[in-house]
Amino acid sequence: MPGVLLGDVFPNFEADTTIGKIQFHDFLGDSWGILFSHPRDFTPVCTTELGRAAKLSGEFARRSVKMIALSIDSVQDHLAWSKDIVAYNGEAPDSMLPFPIIADEKRELAIQLGMLDPDEKDKDGIPLTARCVFVIGPDKKLKLSILYPATTGRNFDEILRTVDSLQLTAQKRVATPVDWKLGDSCMVLPNIPEDEAAKLFPAGVYTKDLPSGKKYLRYTPQP
């Protein structure tokens, strides 16, 4: 089956974009990356999504994350649509989107990466691109993927939150619990013995008492 699994090296594809032809790994360099696909240009949900992504671009940049979008229309359509997105955001007409958009007119990347939505089709009956999110690490491996149907817009604040978790847990031996946000307490990994945890987390480890008597709910301030 086409697609990329967690831990796979992300394909180093070549593509035409709104900033010219790119080689994906060269575009990423040593940064983290986020690739997010869209069903079609000049559509309402996609416009709101790219508008929000643009507003959060500074937050992604501060985390050393390069952003790139993908849609199945042409570069020319992308450039024209970008003006609508800029207007939607209430910005000056000569403003530019802070990230490129890939032109995948033949759906080659959509097929290779498993991004087609079989339930949403264009006027010719051909499936549109689903709303995919791929987060790629500096090692060019896939760290996270999220797949939404074409009818459901994404929450880019949540995507930013997942990046915070991915970057933290790539460096520290912790996990992030439900609804975690940057600065909140983290979970100590179950495979870390108590004596080692005390050395790893000098700020302290709090263990919640449970009816089972098992000491697996261990919290520590974000390291």
Count of residues for the chain?
223
- From the list 46, 73, 164, 186, the catalytic residue is 46
**CA torsion, ordered 166, 169, 174, 178, to nearest 10 deg:** -10
CA 126, CA 108: separation in Å to the nearest integer? 13
Catalytic residue among 8, 119, 139, 157: 139
Is 186 considered catalytic here? no
Hey, is 51 helix, strand or coil? helix
Instruction: Write down the H helix ranges in 89-209.
Output: 108-112, 156-171, 194-200
Q: Helix count (H) and strand count (E) of the chain?
A: 7, 13
Q: Strands across the sheet with 218-220, in order?
A: 174-175, 186-188, 218-220, 206-207
Active-site residue numbers?
46, 139
